[in-house]
Chain A
């Protein structure tokens, strides 16, 4: 080894250069690692959950596990109880009792059985029971709705839609039918019809997460860019931490709109409005105070994390620096318990470059915030 090093030194000396291989090797060792974004493992596992297991693995799994058959009596308890009630009560039934009828009891029995099969992922068996329930008590919108769900599970979109429509004819504000009919129309590309139903959902429940998100999808398909933009913003405003918030933010990005960003800390992920400043100044617009509050609250709760604030201001590095400092100052003012060493700031006098759909989008002014575990950072 020593001989090898000597050889390297002599080679460098021969060439009349100060730098030796050993210096280069030391240099390579000092290049800092960059921390990956948080939640990568979570994102991968989520994608795996949606993925089909490779065929070889399925075969391996099937062969490596013991084959067992089990019966769980408790699972079938509701069905058994209903059957028992019908057997015991029906012969002694007094038809003058208004709240009870054989048709109603039978319908309920069929409905419970159908729902049970549906939950067991056996829609083929479920549908006949649910149809029985609906035919015995045709005025009950629940029964028709669940017939629709069974049709959906059997990929029969047309009959699915008909069943939801019957439920709505019986009860025009029946929320689940509006939601599912919206989904049906969206899947079939009947976008205006889907929008009509989602809007009726939102009239009843203005922050309904699925309806808000799917309105955005429908408008995207329709090419109504401005309405789509408003829809994603409404979605994020109502459900900043919802399961679809990352998709809503990405959809905004693909419109070239970076007014929201995702902020992750530990397993928590929330969308916040991007901090903005009044023109060429370090005065935040009033709306940005909400973001400061949201971030400050999260950082207070997670004191083992540090916050990184990165500000871009094209052509004005000094302004970027002032803005970064203003954000830090505002956070410390509003959250006095926040240790100033837990807030790192960086500033750049260049445009921020985003990569969206294979294209580069440049933004003249931008603020990015992210949290990282303190033990990973070089700052504390």
Chain B
């Protein structure tokens, strides 16, 4: 199930070539960093946590079995555990990760979506909505709709059953739908406004 390119790189790392691990980091750093960024909302913390993920992955690389899982799924599982541990250290509910809301608004949108200004508010709204979800609901949606994972792959990555994965996706979508419904109701009453710059 692992890609031949990943398997070749992993074989080189296991043969003592740490530079080959650098290529693995380059390939997946963006996805892992974004997972951490969605969790913490801080670029500094996300960078530290991403490094922690890769160092842990390096230590545990022998335990990865290519025929069972894609390497990316395996790495994502390691990253999710690091993210949950981080939230636990912060004495927060490891399933709740809304502490990055402000930063998501400021950096995630203003600094990175300048090329498409007419969609900034729309994107901001979605960032806010996603940040209200628990990690497991949010990441199930990300894996399904951004990474194009099958339900079975999501189940494997999140360590849950296939029906559990389906349920998380459905509940995640439903929570977002309710979030927007609430905004719509509040907007109608003039209570809610998403800030844009």
Nearest A residue to B176 by beta-carbon distance?
A24
On whether A17 and B44 interact (CB within 8 A), knowing A28-B146, A34-B112, A35-B30, the answer reads no
Residues of B within 8 A of A12 (CB): 177
Tell whether, in the assembled complex, residue B113 and residue A378 are in contact, meaning their CB atoms are under 8 Å apart.
Answer: yes
Q: Which applies to chain B's interface (DSSP): helix, strand, loop or mixed?
A: helix
Given contacts A27-B122, A28-B145, contact A48 B21 (CB under 8 A): yes
Contact B62 A56 (CB under 8 A): yes
Taking CB as reference atom, which chain A residue is nearest B53? A44
Complex interface: chain A residues within 8 A of B108 (CB): 31-32, 34
Name which of B11-19, B65-73, B77-85, B150-158 contacts chain A. Answer: B11-19
Contact assessment for B145 and A29 in the assembled complex, using a CB-CB cutoff below 8 Å: yes
A379 touching B114 by the CB < 8 A rule? yes
Contact across chains for A60 and B62 when beta carbons are under 8 A apart: yes
Given the known inter-chain contacts A44-B22, A47-B51, A54-B62, please indicate yes or no for A29 contacting B112, CB distance below 8 A: no
Closest to B107 in A: A34
- Knowing A34-B37, A34-B108, the reply to whether A40 touches B29 (Cβ < 8 A) is yes
Specify which of B26, B62, B110, B141 is in contact with A346 (CB 8 Å cutoff).
B110
Given that A28-B126, A31-B108, A36-B50 are contacting pairs, would A21 and B25 also be in contact in the complex, using a CB cutoff of 8 Å?
Answer: no
* In the complex, chain B residues whose CB is within 8 Å of the CB of A35: 30, 33, 112
Q: Is B142 part of the binding interface, using a Cβ–Cβ cutoff of 8 Å?
A: yes
Number of interface residues of B (CB under 8 A): 59
Q: How far is the CA of A45 from the CA of B23 in the complex (A)?
A: 10
Name the residue of chain B whose CB is nearest to the CB of A347: B197
**From B22, B46, B129, contact of A45 by CB (8 A):** B22
**Complex formed: what's the CA distance from A308 to B43 in Å?**
15
Q: B21 touching A19 by the CB < 8 A rule?
A: no
CB-CB under 8 A from A354, the residues of chain B are 44
**Chain A residues within an 8 Å CB radius of B16:** 53, 57, 61
A15 to B54, CA, bound (A): 44
* Contact, CB under 8 Å: B18 / A45: yes
When A24-B176, A28-B126, A355-B44 are in contact, do A308 and B34 touch as well, CB less than 8 Å?
A: no
Contact A29 B146 (CB under 8 A): yes
Instruction: Known A47-B51, A61-B16; judge A19-B181 contact (CB<8 A).
Output: yes
How far, in angstroms, from A29 to B119 measured CA to CA in the complex?
Answer: 13
**Chain A min CB distance to B89 (Å):** 9
A215 smallest CB distance to B (angstroms): 27
Chain B proximity of A326: nearest CB distance (Å):
19
Please give the distance in Å from B113's CB to the nearest CB on chain A.
5
Cβ-based interface call for B95 (8 A)? no
Which of A49, A64, A344 lies in contact with B114, CB distance below 8 A? A344
Of B33, B34, B122, the residue contacting A40 (CB under 8 A) is B33
Interface residues of A in 220-241 (CB under 8 A from B): none
Give min CB distance, A60 to chain B, whole Å.
Answer: 6
Q: Which of B29, B37, B177, B181 has the most CB of A within 10 A?
A: B177
**Which one, A34, A36, A48, A308, contacts B55 given CB within 8 A?**
A48
Flag whether A41 is at the interface (Cβ < 8 A).
Answer: yes
- A116–B49 CA distance with the chains assembled, in angstroms: 43
Known pairs A48-B58, A308-B111; A42 contacts B22 (CB<8 A): yes
Task: Kindly provide the distance from the CB of B97 to the nearest chain A CB, expressed in whole angstroms.
Answer: 15
Does A37 belong to the interface (CB within 8 Å)?
yes
Which B-chain residue is minimally distant from A8 (CB atoms)?
B173
Distance, CA A37 to CA B33, complexed state (A): 9
Indicate if the CB atoms of A36 and B33 lie closer than 8 Å. Answer: yes
9 closest residue pairs by CB, A with B: A378-B115, A36-B33, A41-B25, A27-B126, A45-B22, A48-B18, A41-B22, A41-B26, A32-B112
Contacts A29-B146, A34-B43 given; 14 further ones with Cβ under 8 A?
A17-B177, A19-B180, A27-B123, A33-B34, A34-B46, A35-B33, A36-B34, A37-B47, A44-B58, A45-B25, A47-B51, A57-B14, A60-B14, A344-B114
